Amino acid sequence: MEPGAQLGANCVIHAYAVVTKYCVLGAGVVVHPFAVVGSEPNFLKFDPAIATGVRIGAGTVLREHSSINRSIYAGKETVVGARCFLMANAHVGHDCEVGDDVVMATNVMLGGHVSIGDFTFIGGGAGVHQFARLGEGVMVAGLARITQDIAPFLMVAERNEVPGFNLVGMKRRGVSREAIKELKACYARVFAGGDPRAHAKTVISAGVQSDEARRFLEFFAGGKRGFARPDGRASSDET
């Protein structure tokens, strides 16, 4: 524990863990042996004198050898939300934004600037390219390679292969049958061919009933990496 680190109530820092002075940990965070929180980013031009940080939400558990890099930008933070569970050797690169209730299995690798939505599960050994976004409720298979954005509530495997919706995850969260039906209709329209951004904009303009469908469609308004699609082809703006 470096002087200057801020810990909420009832945090547990196990022996041999490292929490640098750049960290803010919410209540009840648990850091297991050999985890490193707030280390310098893997960025060749980084100036270690810059004051940047890491913020961890309440109730998050960081298992053995997990690591979270601090931001590369002065005054900015790498963020991991509340009630997350990072298993052994999971890595969160600089400037990532990880939502609440996210599970990262053993050996998961997040590049810099990755965004992960709430209630997403990332299987063991999966890697996520820098600047990629995963929407809420996504299920990522073990050893997957993610180089494009993955829309909310989808499953993804191998290299950006989208087999369909994470129905089990949605049902566990209590998403209604009506919302799931509407999501399926939106999915068919957005991935009908052509530009997913344009299709999503058209569908949302026509009006949707459920919050889940709205969030699914709004996801397509952002991002830099293009979108993984069911047919395996990249959208036209992939970089």
Among all residues, which ones are annotated catalytic? 94-95, 112
**How far is the CA of 221 from the CAs of 84, 169, 175, 196, 209, in angstroms?**
26, 24, 23, 9, 19
Burial of 192 (0-12, 13-18, 19+ CB in 10 A): exposed
**DSSP E strand stretches across 159-217:** 161-165
Per-residue tokens: 40: 């310098």
3-state secondary structure of 183: helix
3-state secondary structure of 149: strand
Burial of 25 (0-12, 13-18, 19+ CB in 10 A): buried
Q: Decide the pairing of beta strands 67-69 and 91-92.
A: parallel
Per-residue tokens: 225: 């990496």
